[in-house]
Amino acid sequence: MSREEDQKVLVYDPNVCSGCLYCMVVCSYTHYGEVNLEKAHLEVLRDPFNENRFINVHCAHCQDPFCQAACPVEPKAIEKDPETGFVTINPILCIGCKSCNFACPISIPHFDDYLKVSVKCDACKGDFLCAKYCSTGALKIVTRREALERVKYESS
Write out pLDDT tens, residues 16-70: 999 999 999 999 999 999 999 999 999 999 999 999 999 999 999 998 999 999 9
Query: Is 139 in a helix, a strand, or coil?
Result: strand
Q: Is the pLDDT of residue 2 over 80?
A: no
pTM value surpassing 0.85: yes
Q: Is the pLDDT of residue 96 over 50?
A: yes
Contact 5, 53 (CB under 8 A): no
What is the sign of the dihedral through the CA atoms of 66, 141, 12 and 3? positive
CA 22 to chain centroid:
15
Assign residue 19 a region: left if phi > 0, alpha if psi is -120 to 50, beta otherwise? left
CATH top-level class of 4-155? alpha beta
How confident is residue 1, by pLDDT bands cut at 50, 70 and 90? very low
Contact 13, 140 (CB under 8 A): yes
Q: Tell me the C-alpha distance between 28 and 36, whole Å.
A: 6
Q: Is the pLDDT of residue 88 over 60?
A: yes
